[in-house]
Structure 1
């Protein structure tokens, strides 16, 4: 797998993704967002992320759209791509990265990348996650992290979800956040 940062906002290139393989494919043709991709060994794009700075906070970068080819989901490609973008963004001087997610699978993937739920939602009911994780009380760190993680899952549990999503949520009931994945994928 090869990971490539194609450009920063506002010099981000147009990226044409097949709408049958990728969610949010149309969002990647905009040139005002930075973009990064993951490519298979044959050069085919299998994941992409678009990002731009927060309009009110120059130290915050928003990850706007993350997509993984439908036939490659669940392989850890999305989190690996996000870790690389996260690392390049912090090297570039961003103190904080944020993303809003609309499903429990993305929520879990972001947790594996070092993001954590902030307790906030967007106007369209997406949960806001942040890197680095918002500070917790050092004396109760483990319990606070578990409670924060479960609070986000509880937000999803209150929604009308698919049977697979509900089973996924049930499998994580009363657990702590997932372990961070290494960069070795």
Structure 2
């Protein structure tokens, strides 16, 4: 896979992602954010053996999608802090999730962000899997949440967050997810494994940030 910086917000770049394979696919058609992607070098399908679980509506052309995209990211500058690049959406093809493509794509964007003059990168995540992936990409929980109850993570452009290896901060974010309702079985299992506390709402002592666990 190759990194492709499609452009910054003023370039009005777009991607046509298959909504059956990508979360937030509709957001990548919008021209208000910058876009970058991991895509095949030769333009071939990123997931050639993938079979969608549902059909497209009649009249919709499947060849209209950018089938060579494995992962994509949308971003813009923070309106209140021009030194911060906000990652709006990170999405990975359904057949390729779990292969580290999301963190890899975020890492590939850091160089262009630094050249653009950004000093920090910020993202808000709404589930523990995304939280873990961003920790692997050098982010750390800031202790803040958005109005949509997303946890805010941040890192400097030039190096991983200084507090990324603080186990208490890492556990704090995971514990916040578990106190919420509506978790899937997979999310509950993931949190039990990471927090290691038998399912209580408090943080267990066994959880460590990703770099200390692998």
Is the TM-score greater than 0.5?
Answer: yes
Residue 175 of structure 2: which of 124, 142, 154 is its match? Answer: 154
Cα distance between partner residues in 2 of 1:16 and 1:101: 23
Q: Please say if 1:175 is aligned against 2:207.
A: yes
SS of equivalent residue, structure 1 residue 164: helix
* Residue-pair matches, total: 174
Report deviation, 1:87. 2.7
Cα distance between partner residues in 1 of 2:120 and 2:162: 12
Could you tell me whether the CA contact under 8 Å between 1:79 and 1:112 is conserved in 2? yes
Calculate the aligned-residue CA RMSD, in Å: 1.7
**Which residues of 2 match residues 17-166 of structure 1 at below 5 A?**
17-43=17-43, 44-132=68-156, 136=163, 145-160=166-181, 161-166=183-188
> TM-score normalised to the size of structure 2?
0.77
SS of equivalent residue, structure 2 residue 89: strand
Cα distance between partner residues in 1 of 2:31 and 2:19: 18
Cα distance between partner residues in 2 of 1:157 and 1:104: 9
Cα distance between partner residues in 2 of 1:39 and 1:134: 28
SS of equivalent residue, structure 1 residue 179: helix
Cα distance between partner residues in 1 of 2:192 and 2:167: 15
Could you tell me whether the CA contact under 8 Å between 2:22 and 2:92 is conserved in 1? yes
> TM-score normalised to the size of structure 1?
0.88
Could you tell me whether the CA contact under 8 Å between 1:6 and 1:12 is conserved in 2? no
Q: 1:42 to 1:165 in 2, by over 3 A?
A: farther
Cα distance between partner residues in 2 of 1:177 and 1:135: 13
Ranges in structure 1 where 5+ consecutive residues have no aligned partner: 181-185
Residue 3 of structure 1: aligned partner: 3
- Larger deviation: 33-42 or 51-60? 33-42
The runs of 4+ residues in structure 1 deviating greater than 6 Å are: none
Cα distance between partner residues in 2 of 1:12 and 1:121: 29
